[in-house]
Structure 1
Amino acid sequence: MRKRERENPCGICGHYHKYEEEEVCGICGHRIPLSSDKSSLQVSAFPSLILPGFLYLGSYDNASRSELLKSQGITHVLNTVPACQNLYKNSFTYHCLQDGKILLFDDAIQFLEQCERDKARVLVHCMSGKNRSPAIVVAFLMKSKGWRLLQSYQWVKERRPSVDIGQAVYQQLQEYEQKLYGSSNSSNLVLLSFQPGGAPLNFGLSEVKDPVPVPIPAFSNLGGASIFAHLPPQEFTFGAGQTQKNLSENLANPSGSDIPMDNA
C-alpha cells in the first residue's frame, strides 16, 4: 500500500484498507456493506436498546457514529474485540476486553454493573453486533437478572433479531450458566425459532405440564363388564351370520344386491 494511502485510515474501523474498493480489513474484518445490507443501513446506524435508559447493543459501525451515540445519551462503550480501535476516547469512557477468543464475562459484567450504578448509558459492541457482544449482554442478564441462558438469549434476540451466536461462543455461555447456577439446562440455540412480532415471550419459563388426560369413553368404564352383556341376546348375533327372517327374504329376491351365502 502506498504511503499516501496509509496516511488516510478507514473512517469506520480506523485501520488501513481500501474501504471504497470493497477491500476487507485484514485486522478486524470490516468491509463495505453488501447490496443486501444497504437497505437496512439506515436502521443499523442505531444500536439496539436492550434495557431502557441503560444498555445498548450494536456493531463497530454503530460505535463509530459518535453523534448518534451522543444523541441517545450513551457515555460509556464496552468494546469486546481487541482489534477494534476505540475511536473517541475524549468523548466516551471505554473498556476493552483483552482476549480475542475467550470472552471474559466477569470482567465485562463488572464494568456494566459499575455503569448501572452510575446511571450511565453504555453501548456493548463487537464487529458485527451478532456474536461476541450479544453473548456479553446475555451473560450480564443471567448475572444481574437471575435469568437462565435460554431466557436471556430470547430477550436479546427479540430486541436485535440479527443476533447469531456461534457454537463456540454458545458453549462459553453454557459454561457460564453452569458456573452461576450449578447446571446448564438450555437446549441448543440453533433449534430456537424466533418470529418478530409474535406472541410475548414467557419469561417464567415454567416447565411443560403433562397433557390433560383425554376423557375415557363411557362404555369402557363399566366396572370390567363386557359391553355385550348390556345388549339383548335376541338382537345381537356374532359373526357375519344372518337371522332366519333376513335369509328367507334374500332367497326370495334373487335380483337383490346381496349374494346369499352357501350354507353347505
Structure 2
Amino acid sequence: MTLLGASPGRSGPNDSAFISTAAAATTTSSPPTPIDSESIAKATDLLKGHMMPNNNINNIHYNGSHDIGTTDLYNLMQDIVINKLVIDLRPSDQWKQCHIRDSVNLPAPTKDILLANQQQQLHSLRSSADNARVPTDFDFNITKYIASYTGVKYWNLVFQQVVVISDGRFTKDINQANIDLHQSGDCHPFRIDSDNWDNHVLHYLIARRKKAQIAIYHAGFSAYQHKYPFLCQAGTDQPSKQSARERQVYPTEVLEDFLYLGSYENASSVSQLKQLINMAVELEDCFPHMFKYYRADLKDNFTADLTSHFPAIYQFIHEARVRNERVLVHCAMGVSRSTAAVISYLMKEYRYSYDHSRAFIKEKRSIIQPNFSFVKALKAYEQQLGIGSGNGPTATISLRSSGNNITPAGPIILNSDGLIMTSKLPIASL
C-alpha cells in the first residue's frame, strides 16, 4: 500500500486531469462555511427523519428510491462491479452539448410524438370490440416510449442501480397517487406544457421497478460537471460498448476532496496522483521524484504485520490533511491491503467501530474485502482504541430554542455540495 501526498496547487506538470478539476479549491480541510440561521429549521427536520446509521447520505424515500449526492454518483460511476444505468432527462440538445460519460438520454416527448401516440390509440380502439376508455387529447404510453430508446428499454431487467438526473427539478415528495396511476396501466395523460417530465418518469420508474434501486440526483447536471468535468463528454454517442474494465477508472473518493482509495492502476496514472501510501510489497512507487510516499510493503496474506503500520499510516494521512493535501491509498487492486489502511484511519480519526468503518467504505467501493488476518488486526485495534462495536457515524446536532428561533448548541457547517457536516464528516443532505 502506498500513500502519496501532493498539494492541489503543487501537482506535477502532467497532473491536471484529476487534481485540477476535482474541486481543488475546496478540499476537506479548508475552512467550512457556517450555516445561516434560516437553514437551522430545515436541518433539524432533515436530521429527525433522514439520519442513516452508516453515514449514508443516500436517504431512502419510497419503495427502493433514494437521493444520491455528487460524490456518491462519482463513486458509483467508478464501481466496475455494480451494473448501473444513468438516465439523463434533459432535452436532447442539452444532452448532446455535454453529458455524463456513459449516460443515456430520455428527453420529454414532443407534441408531435404525443399526437401520433394518441392517434394510434384511437385507431386501435375503433378496431376493437370492447368499450375501452377513449383517451384524452394528450394520453401517452410511457412504457412504449421508453422502449423506443435502446439504451433505456431494458432498465428494469439488467441494472442494479438506475440513476435519474436532470437540471435539479425533481420533487422531494413521492406521490402515492402517481405511483398507483403508473401501476394501473401504461397510458395516462401527459401535457408537455404543464406536466413535469422529470417527475413523470421518476414516479413511473418507482412504480414499475423490480429489483433496481432508483437513485435521484437532485443537484443537477451542472453540479456534477462543475466538480468532475473530466467525466463528462459532448456528442451523440450512447454508452460505449467498451467494458468497464477497459475504460479509465478513477479512485474511490472516501472523504471528499481528501482521502482516496484505489488500485495500482490509479497510482500509476499521472492524471490521478496525489500523496500516496503504497501497501503492496510487490509494487514499485511510480513517481517517487514527484510525490511523497509511505511504503508499508505488505503481502496480502496472514503473515503480514499490518498492526505495526497503524501509527505511521494515521500520521501520514493526518499530516496531509493539515497541509491541505490529498492522499491516495493503494495496493494492487484496492480490495484488501489499502482498504485495511483506510479503515484503520477512520477508526482512529472518527472513533468508528470496525463494522461501521467497513460499511462506510463499502458503500462507496463495493469490491472491498480485507483478508481475515487484517480483519482480526483491525478488531484488535478497535479494542485498543476503546471503541464500542456500536460506534459509528450517527452524529446528532444539539439545538436550543429561544422564542421562535432555533440555534445550534454546537457548530454546524455546510460544504459546497449542500451537506450538513460536523467538524469532520457529512451526516446528512439538504
Aligned to 1:102: 305
How far apart, CA to CA, are the structure 1 residues paired with 2:246 and 2:319?
A: 31
- Give the residue type in structure 2 aligned to 1:203: P
1:165 aligns with 2:370: yes
**Residue 245 of structure 2 is aligned with which of 37, 41, 60?**
41
Alpha carbons 2:260, 2:327 under 8 Å: kept: yes
How far apart, CA to CA, are the structure 2 residues paired with 1:173 and 1:145?
A: 15
Q: CA deviation at 1:44?
A: 6.1
Instruction: Report % sequence identity.
Output: 30
Alpha-carbon deviations, 1:186-219, whole Å to 9, x = none?
8xxxxxxxxxxxxxxx8329xxxxxxxxxxxxxx
What are the residue-to-residue correspondences of 1:70-85 with 2, within 5 Å?
Answer: 74=274, 76-85=275-284
How far apart, CA to CA, are the structure 2 residues paired with 1:63 and 1:143?
A: 25
TM-score of the aligned structures, taking structure 2 as reference length: 0.33
Aligned to 1:119: 324
- Give the residue type in structure 2 aligned to 1:53: D
How far apart, CA to CA, are the structure 2 residues paired with 1:125 and 1:44?
A: 16
Aligned to 1:154: 359
How far apart, CA to CA, are the structure 2 residues paired with 1:142 and 1:182?
A: 8
**Residue 333 of structure 2 is aligned with which of 104, 128, 134?**
128
How far apart, CA to CA, are the structure 2 residues paired with 1:127 and 1:142?
A: 23
Partner-residue secondary structure (3-state), 1:94: strand
- Give the residue type in structure 1 aligned to 2:278: N
Alpha-carbon deviations, 1:119-167, whole Å to 9, x = none?
1001000111000101110110010011111111111101111101221
Question: In 2 relative to 1, CA 91–140 (structure 1 residues): closer, same or farther, beyond 3 Å?
Answer: same
Partner-residue secondary structure (3-state), 1:68: coil
Question: In 2 relative to 1, CA 177–57 (structure 1 residues): closer, same or farther, beyond 3 Å?
Answer: same
Count residues with an aligned counterpart.
149
Partner-residue secondary structure (3-state), 2:253: strand
How far apart, CA to CA, are the structure 1 residues paired with 2:339 and 2:269?
A: 19
How far apart, CA to CA, are the structure 1 residues paired with 2:247 and 2:394?
A: 31
1:66 aligns with 2:256: no
Higher relative contact order (CA 8 A, sep 6+): 2
- Give the residue type in structure 2 aligned to 1:40: A
Aligned-CA RMSD value: 2.4
How far apart, CA to CA, are the structure 1 residues paired with 2:370 and 2:280?
A: 15
- Give the residue type in structure 1 aligned to 2:394: G
Q: CA deviation at 1:39?
A: 2.2
How far apart, CA to CA, are the structure 1 residues paired with 2:345 and 2:271?
A: 26
Alpha carbons 2:282, 2:297 under 8 Å: kept: no
How far apart, CA to CA, are the structure 1 residues paired with 2:288 and 2:317?
A: 18
How far apart, CA to CA, are the structure 1 residues paired with 2:248 and 2:337?
A: 17
Aligned to 2:394: 204
Unaligned residue ranges in structure 1 (runs of 5+): 1-37, 187-201, 206-264
Question: In 2 relative to 1, CA 182–52 (structure 1 residues): closer, same or farther, beyond 3 Å?
Answer: closer
How far apart, CA to CA, are the structure 1 residues paired with 2:362 and 2:295?
A: 23
TM-score of the aligned structures, taking structure 1 as reference length: 0.52
- Give the residue type in structure 1 aligned to 2:305: I
Partner-residue secondary structure (3-state), 1:66: coil
Q: CA deviation at 1:82?
A: 2.3
Question: In 2 relative to 1, CA 154–44 (structure 1 residues): closer, same or farther, beyond 3 Å?
Answer: farther
- Give the residue type in structure 2 aligned to 1:128: M
Question: In 2 relative to 1, CA 155–182 (structure 1 residues): closer, same or farther, beyond 3 Å?
Answer: closer
Unaligned residue ranges in structure 2 (runs of 5+): 1-241, 396-430
Aligned to 2:159: none
Aligned to 1:88: 287
